[in-house]
């Protein structure tokens, strides 16, 4: 199976938390946390449609300025989500710059921000051409655990305790569509942009009796073949369970947090989890409302995740990071799983 999402930690396990999740089948990406973003090229940043911030400690939110700088003057929309008081944090950032020339920009950038409370959300839109002033009343909506639901995937959030509320996130693909190359060969049709349309039709559960046209270019000429959607799916697509990616940072190892995390991350294909300290420094971890490597490994094991990536190591381990990884691995051992090495840009 070729996964639809390819998550990567932009700053590795020691740098500021930023998980960049590009889509395999289109030029689009999601972002979890906004620490230092300088290692993410503008062309990657501009693929972002949604960003999810766990909490606004500086190491998770300082990169918001880089996002703003990159999107400014572009005809784009970005929707960011964060914990209670997030709108105040966003407005504080926006208020720190002078916007007197933006009304002349030919392209406007629209920023939507949503703060997530346990039972409701509040959203506001900030328009670049209006100097990011939000003239409309905030929009309040009930929150049932799901922040974003599209035909192909959804994003869920939970509230965890880090002395302040800190959000955890799940990215869940509805199901996965594998394209069978030999099926394409038999039908004598090549891969191409039409595959995105085809997958969308399946995610949207369109009527199999509907027509579907495959269009491609051959020797400069456009070629078309008509199919019944159901027939084409039968010949070239295999459906398998979708990916689940869980992102958990900055939490104290309390019984309440542990219970929530285990349930939330249950059977994830990949869990990204903070691993700030060695268990020998459990008192420091507790004092700072963080996890130890052993605790992270235990949570990953109890949740039954397939792969887990420990990260957000304290800088005190910059020369001994292997100790954190080994301790997390030991706690996770005994279950038939593998720990994926953190990937870097
Ligand atoms: Zn942090
Ligand atoms: Zn924090």
Ligand nearest the Cα atom of residue 162: 2
Ligand nearest the Cα atom of residue 36: 1
Ion ligand 1 residue ranges (Cβ < 5 Å): 59, 250
What's the CA-to-centroid distance between 299 and ligand 1, angstroms?
18
- What's the CA gap between 331 and 45, in Å, rounded? 36
In this prediction, residue 343 has a pLDDT band, given cuts at 50, 70 and 90, of very low
Q: For residue 210, is pLDDT > 50?
A: yes
Q: What pLDDT, on a 0 to 100 scale, did the predictor assign at position 1?
A: 63
What's the CA-to-centroid distance between 161 and ligand 1, angstroms?
13
- Catalogue the long-range contacts made by 196-199 (C-beta closer than 8 Å, 24 or more residues apart): 196/25, 196/26, 198/232, 198/237, 199/25, 199/152
Q: Which pLDDT tens digit goes with each residue over 71-124?
A: 998 889 999 999 999 999 999 999 999 888 777 777 778 999 999 999 999 999
In this prediction, residue 336 has a pLDDT band, given cuts at 50, 70 and 90, of very low
Q: Which pLDDT tens digit goes with each residue over 226-274?
A: 999 999 999 999 988 899 999 999 999 999 999 999 999 999 999 999 9
Mean pLDDT over residues 282-311, rounded?
96
What average pLDDT does the structure give for the chain? 92
Mean pLDDT over residues 37-55, rounded?
97
């Amino acid at each position: 199976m070729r996964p639809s999402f390819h998550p990567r930690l932009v700053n590795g396990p020691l740098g500021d938390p930023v998980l960049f999740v590009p889509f395999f089948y289109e030029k689009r990406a999601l972002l979890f946390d906004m620490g230092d973003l300088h290692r993410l090229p503008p062309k990657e940043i501009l693929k972002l449609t949604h960003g999810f911030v766990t909490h606004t400690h500086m190491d998770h939110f300082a990169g918001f300025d880089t996002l703003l700088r990159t999107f400014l003057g572009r005809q784009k929309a970005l929707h960011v989500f964060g914990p209670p008081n997030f709108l105040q944090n966003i407005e504080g950032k926006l208020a720190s710059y002078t916007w007197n020339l933006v009304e002349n920009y030919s392209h406007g950038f629209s920023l939507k921000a949503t703060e997530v409370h346990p039972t409701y959300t509040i959203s506001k839109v900030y328009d670049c051409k209006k100097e990011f002033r939000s003239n409309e009343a905030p929009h309040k909506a009930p929150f049932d655990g799901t922040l974003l639901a599209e035909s192909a995937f959804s994003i869920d959030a939970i509230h965890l305790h880090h002395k302040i509320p800190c959000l955890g996130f799940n990215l869940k693909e509805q199901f996965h569509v594998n394209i069978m190359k030999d099926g394409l060969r038999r039908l004598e049709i090549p891969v191409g942009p039409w595959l995105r349309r085809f997958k969308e039709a399946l995610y949207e559960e369109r009527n199999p009796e509907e027509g579907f046209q495959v269009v491609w270019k051959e020797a400069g000429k456009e070629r078309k073949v008509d199919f019944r959607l159901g027939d084409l799916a039968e010949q070239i697509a295999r459906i398998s369970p979708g990916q689940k990616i869980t992102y958990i940072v900055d939490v104290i190892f309390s019984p309440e947090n542990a219970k929530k995390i285990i349930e939330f991350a249950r059977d994830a294909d990949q869990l990204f989890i903070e691993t700030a300290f060695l268990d020998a420094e459990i008192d420091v971890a507790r004092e700072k409302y963080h996890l130890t490597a052993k605790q992270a490994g235990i949570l990953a094991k109890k949740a039954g995740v397939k792969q887990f990536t420990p990260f957000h190591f304290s800088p005190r381990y910059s020369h001994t990071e292997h100790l954190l990884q080994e301790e997390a691995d030991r706690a996770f051992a005994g279950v038939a799983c593998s720990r994926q090495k953190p990937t870097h840009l």
